[in-house]
Structures are given as structure tokens and as C-alpha cells.
């Protein structure tokens, strides 16, 4: 679990530094932190039985892409609701 967590923190740092590098070119960088997703990769381990679908994550990406040019969501935490 520690290697997984370290990689997540690494991605966070990458997003922040990349945002600084490309911001002057009007490029936005964001990170989506999803909860468990029902996929073959590992979505069967969720204890509560509540899981996101791949379509839920796709909708989050569309939300970020359709934001106003004046708005910037840097980080999105996406968790199952029901």
C-alpha cells in the first residue's frame, strides 16, 4: 500500500509542477482522484459495495473540459454517492 500511496503523491506533484510550466500557454492541468471504480483492474475489493463506473469518471473529465476559460479546477475528488 505504501508504494501505491507514494505514486499518488508523486502524481500530485507532477500535476502542480506541470501546471506551472504550461500555464503561460493557457493550458490547464487537473487531477481526478476517483474512489473505487468497477473495472477488471481491481474494483472488486470495495468493502461497502459502492463503486463508480468508468462512465462516472468520463463525466468528470467532460465537466473539467467544459469549464469556463476563467475557471480552473485543479483537483477533483470523485467518490460514490449512494
Q: What is the CATH number of the domain that holds 64?
A: 3.40.50.720
Question: Which carries the bigger pLDDT value, residue 6 or residue 48?
Answer: 6
**Whole-prediction pTM:** 0.76
Res 4: pLDDT: 87
Q: What's the rounded mean pLDDT across residues 10-39?
A: 93
What beta strand segments (E) does 1-82 contain?
31-34, 75-78
Q: Is 38 helix (H, G, I), strand (E, B) or coil?
A: coil
Q: Is the pLDDT of residue 26 over 90?
A: yes
How far from chain centre, in Å, is Cα 68? 19
* pLDDT tens-digit readout, 38-79: 887 755 555 567 899 999 999 999 999 999 999 999 999 999
* Counted domains in the chain: 1
CA 53, 56, 79: angle at the middle one, nearest 5? 85
Q: The domain containing residue 11 runs over which residues?
A: 2-78
Contact (Cβ atoms closer than 8 angstroms) between residue 22 and residue 51: no
DSSP letter, residue 45? G
| DSSP bridge pairs for 37 | 52
pLDDT of 16 over the 60 cut: yes
- Distance in angstroms (rounded) separating the CA atoms of residues 64 and 34: 14
Amino acid at each position: 500500500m505504501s508504494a501505491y500511496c507514494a505514486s499518488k503523491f508523486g502524481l500530485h506533484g507532477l500535476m502542480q509542477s506541470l501546471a506551472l510550466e504550461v500555464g503561460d500557454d493557457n493550458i490547464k492541468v487537473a487531477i481526478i482522484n476517483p474512489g473505487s471504480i468497477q473495472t477488471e483492474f481491481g474494483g472488486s475489493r470495495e468493502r461497502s459495495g459502492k463503486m463508480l463506473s468508468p462512465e462516472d469518471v468520463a463525466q468528470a473529465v467532460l465537466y473539467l473540459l467544459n469549464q469556463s476559460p476563467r475557471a480552473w479546477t485543479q483537483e477533483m475528488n470523485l467518490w460514490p454517492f449512494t
